[in-house]
């Protein structure tokens, strides 16, 4: 196996899994609280491996999410590119923080993501209930330690096997 092949597969599998989690049906009562899985995974990779995940990856994942969710084409793409740009730009500062501070930073990044979606929906004349807009920010920040722990451990296992 080539050097880095396992990590590339891990990146691809984690992004596809995030897309699947983003579109899997949930009960009506739980649907507003679904974490923003794709931005969470992209933030992880932008912080831990910025040489592997860039703005093009964020744009492609955003377009895929737009297509799968039926949103305006480019809406999630613009929001994800913004968040990934900020993550890559400040990755050396952010990734040394303890988990609770990382969760706070992820909360802010997800708030920027949702604000971009809110702004685009406003320009397009679409209204979304407030709980559906901001609950994913809170749930994403709460789920971040699990995402970080799982992806970091799988990434480390992949690196030790290569």
Sign of the four-CA dihedral 156, 22, 74, 12: positive
CA distance 60 to 81: 9
Give the model confidence (pLDDT) of 43-56 as tens digits. Answer: 999 999 999 999 99
Total residue length of the chain = 162
pTM attached to this predicted model:
0.91
For residue 148, the tally of other CB atoms under 10 A from its CB is: 20
Per-residue confidence band for 158, with pLDDT thresholds at 50, 70 and 90:
confident
Residue 84 and residue 53 in contact, taking contact as beta carbons nearer than 8 Å: yes
How many percent of the chain have pLDDT more than 90? 85
Q: What is the residue extent of each domain of the chain?
A: 5-161
Mean pLDDT of the chain, nearest integer: 92
CATH classification code of 5-161: 1.10.1760
Q: Is the model's pLDDT at 5 over the cut of 70?
A: no
Q: Across residues 26-45, what is the average pLDDT?
A: 95
pLDDT band at 156 (very low <50, low <70, confident <90, very high): confident
């Amino acid at each position: 196996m080539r050097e880095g092949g396992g990590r590339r597969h891990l990146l691809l599998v984690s992004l596809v899994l995030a897309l699947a989690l983003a579109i899997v049906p949930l009960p009506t009562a739980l649907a507003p609280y679904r974490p923003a899985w794709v931005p969470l995974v992209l933030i992880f990779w932008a912080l831990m491996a910025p040489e592997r995940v860039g703005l093009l990856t964020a744009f492609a994942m955003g377009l895929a999410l737009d297509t799968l969710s039926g949103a305006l084409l480019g809406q999630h793409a613009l929001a994800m590119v913004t968040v990934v740009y900020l993550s890559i730009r400040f990755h050396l500062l952010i990734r040394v923080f303890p988990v609770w501070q990382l969760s706070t930073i992820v909360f802010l990044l997800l708030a920027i993501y949702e604000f971009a979606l809110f702004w685009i929906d406003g320009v397009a004349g679409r209204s979304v209930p407030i709980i559906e807009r901001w609950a994913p920010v809170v749930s994403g920040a709460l789920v971040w330690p699990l995402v970080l722990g799982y992806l970091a451990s799988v990434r480390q296992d992949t690196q030790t096997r290569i």
